[in-house]
A = this chain, B = another copy of it.
Amino acid sequence: MSKEMGNTEAAAPAVLDAIQFNGDGLVPAISQQFDTGEVLMMAWMNRDAVTETLKTGSVCYWSRSRGKLWRKGESSGQTQTLKDFRWDCDADTVLIMVDQVGVACHTGRRNCFFNAVRDGEPTEIADVETDPKELYGES
Contact = CB atoms under 8 A, between A and B. Distances in A.
Interface of A: 4-8, 10-11, 14-15, 18, 28, 30, 32, 36-39, 41-42, 54, 84-91, 93, 95, 105-107, 109, 112-122, 125
Please tell me how many copies of the chain the complex holds: 2
B14 A121 contact: yes
A70 to B, nearest CB: 14
Contacts of A8: 117, 120
Secondary structure of the A side of the interface? mixed
Given A5-B118, A120-B5, A42 B15 contact: no
A5 B117 CA distance: 5
29 contacts: A4-B119, A5-B117, A5-B118, A5-B119, A6-B117, A6-B121, A8-B120, A11-B120, A11-B121, A14-B122, A28-B42, A30-B30, A30-B39, A32-B39, A39-B95, A54-B117, A85-B117, A86-B113, A86-B115, A86-B125, A87-B115, A87-B116, A88-B105, A88-B113, A88-B114, A89-B105, A89-B112, A91-B115, A93-B113
